[in-house]
Structure 1
Amino acid sequence: MGTLNRRILTTLLLLLAIDVAVVATVASLLTPWLTPLRDAVDAVLPGGPGPAWWLAVVAPALAAFVWAQLRYTRAQTLAAADAREVNRAEYPDLFERVQRLCQQADMSMPTVAVADSDVPNSFAVGTVGSATVVVSEGLLAALSGDELDAVLAHELMHVKNRDAAVMTLASFLPALTNGEYGPIDDALPGSRGSRLVFGALAFVGAYLLSARFVEAPFGSLAFTLSVAFLFGLTVVLGGVLLGVFTAPVVVLGRSLSREREFAADRSAAKLTGNPSALVAALETLDGDATPTPETDKRRAYDGVRGLCFLPYGFEDDPATDEFRVETRSHPPTEARIERLGDVLREL
């Protein structure tokens, strides 16, 4: 577990470093239009030009960016899985099991959600201060007793190890690049042309602020063409750099993914004291799973499937006609069962 904890911490620090690079890059791209704000900050706060700007604007922007990633990714993941938070009155047996396992693990009880899907699966998604364990209706129907406890313990270990929160953070940029996430569309619900509206408003704002640094007369054709060129160049560079920053996030997510599954299996087996129950659950669920089509590996995973107990997600017939960046790599079920055999021998 010590190795996993170090890897989780290292991954988190590297993800935060990438977020710093993203925020700094955005601030640099927007520098021509943010000059008035930057001059005002430098004039008010001590430290001279530069340091005051980073302290007063960029640092809070980084904190807001990380917070928004976690909250947005959690909400989008739950929505993609068609999962809703449930209470004890609706699922008394499920709550009793989760509460008992949390007491055994000496951890706070996370939020519990149930996905409206007949496909048996589960996952854990986390934010800075909370986490949610999701199980499908199919899982509750397929498993009971010790096997269900074993799967729930596996998800709870993701929460306790904090890797659920780290993987939630690692989901944002790849999903944004894939087109799975559309923050602008979500911010302007009901508007089919929300991106166009947002882009038009952004261009108008840039047009007005460009009067400070574009030398052509305001409103002239030369002025308009200059602003349009700068605005377009900024958008294109932003898109290219988004892909550049996504690449190391994908590598980090994949490097942690396999190890976190093995570690959660091991911890769950030790928590329940019954590795055989988790082996039985893996065999049952993997045997009933809808096989993932043997297609281009770039299409093998999406945000939900990568977080799940088994990587087939919640869909009976997973779509494969869209480009996907493979952000996670589940270990084969056979390898997980073999590792659990080692735990059984230890116990």
Structure 2
Amino acid sequence: MAVVGSILFAFYAVAAVVLMGMFGTETLPLILVGSVLFVGVQYKVGKWAALRSVGAEDMPEERFPRIHERVEELSAEMGIEKPTLKVARMGVPNAFAVGRKGAGVVVVSEELMRLLDDDELDGVLAHELAHIRNRDVVMMVLGQGVASIVAIVAQWVVLLTGDNELADFFLAIVVGQIVQMLVMVFVLAISRYREYVADSDAREAIGGGDPLARALEKISSGNARADESAVDEQVNALCIFGDGSGIARLLSTHPPMEKRVERLRN
């Protein structure tokens, strides 16, 4: 996490230096405050949007006593506070976590609870709790925020150094998108690595990797109907399952399911 944070800070520092070169060193406090507010708003809005997009509702303890009990036990074992539990109809079996330690939320789809056995569901819950403990959601939001800031700076550079207002406007949009994508390639690579870490932490928490491996295989089959689901692209980055082939793997938030299953069983 320290290495990742350092690299993200390096991206941000370059953007800040460019801004100070364009507008003067007296803008440094404004740059710092604006960046913190930007990432903070992005974090709050992203959490709200993720929950709203799947219609997540509070999970009644009287209806789902075992899930509440297991999450409480796993949370204590992993050294975090029990997160808020929510349930949603996503159209596919899936789960995701948002928030941080002390303010985490785990959303489980009704389809997932119907599909998995108890030990398989424990593996999925432990995986999501690991994301909260490891601050993975915070790191992803920070990475996306830095990518957005760097893209905005690149757009300003194009606009302020050009001499054709209309052409520069469209060029700035293109340059901004390209720069943001380059930074996001790094952020997405970190996301895929963090999935392996969460799998490993879950295996340790439940005493073996086979239940989570079986869960991933079942979820993979259930996601054949993903086009009909309520899981949009933003939330898909937070879900337990994601895959791709070819160039799509470079831009995927999750590593290939086959590799995750192989690691869990080895």
Q: TM-score, normalised by structure 2?
A: 0.75
Report the CA distance between 1:137 and its aligned residue: 1.2
On the 8 A contact 2:20/2:27 being kept in 1, the answer is no
Matched residue type, 2:7: L
1:280 aligns with 2:204: no
Q: Which residues of structure 2 form unaligned runs of 5+?
A: 150-163
Same amino acid, percent of matched pairs: 31
Q: What is the rounded CA distance, in whole Å, between the counterparts of 1:54 and 1:129 in structure 2?
A: 32
In the alignment, which residue of structure 2 is the partner of 1:265?
199
1:58 aligns with 2:31: yes
In the alignment, which residue of structure 2 is the partner of 1:255?
189
Change (3 A) 1:75 1:145: same
- Structure 1 ranges of 4+ moved more than 6 A: 23-29, 173-176
Could you tell me which of 226, 232, 241 is aligned with 1:310?
241
Q: Deviations over 1:270-315 (max 9, x none)?
A: 111032211221222223331679xxxxxxx932223211117xxx
On the 8 A contact 2:101/2:135 being kept in 1, the answer is no
In the alignment, which residue of structure 1 is the partner of 2:153?
none
Matched residue type, 1:255: A
Q: Deviations over 1:36-86 (max 9, x none)?
A: xxxxxxxxxxxxxx444312x222112111211211222222233332344
In the alignment, which residue of structure 2 is the partner of 1:143?
116
- Other structure's SS at 2:242 match: coil
Change (3 A) 1:153 1:166: same
Q: Deviations over 1:141-171 (max 9, x none)?
A: 1124111111000111111122222123334
In the alignment, which residue of structure 1 is the partner of 2:105?
132
Change (3 A) 1:74 1:20: farther
1:159 aligns with 2:93: no
Q: CA RMSD in A?
A: 3.5
Matched residue type, 2:57: R
Matched residue type, 2:6: L
Change (3 A) 1:86 1:328: same
On the 8 A contact 1:111/1:133 being kept in 2, the answer is yes
On the 8 A contact 1:126/1:165 being kept in 2, the answer is yes
- Other structure's SS at 2:3 match: helix
1:1-347, aligned counterparts within 5 Å?
A: 8-19=1-12, 50-55=24-29, 57-86=30-59, 88-89=61-62, 91-126=64-99, 130-171=103-144, 236=170, 239-290=173-224, 302-311=233-242, 327-342=251-266
Q: What is the rounded CA distance, in whole Å, between the counterparts of 1:162 and 1:99 in structure 2?
A: 18
On the 8 A contact 1:115/1:135 being kept in 2, the answer is yes
Q: TM-score, normalised by structure 1?
A: 0.59
Alignment: residue pair count: 244
- Other structure's SS at 1:118 match: coil
Q: What is the rounded CA distance, in whole Å, between the counterparts of 2:19 and 2:167 in structure 1?
A: 13
On the 8 A contact 2:81/2:102 being kept in 1, the answer is no
The structure having more radius of gyration, on CA atoms, is 1
Change (3 A) 1:80 1:173: farther
On the 8 A contact 1:150/1:278 being kept in 2, the answer is yes
Change (3 A) 1:28 1:127: farther
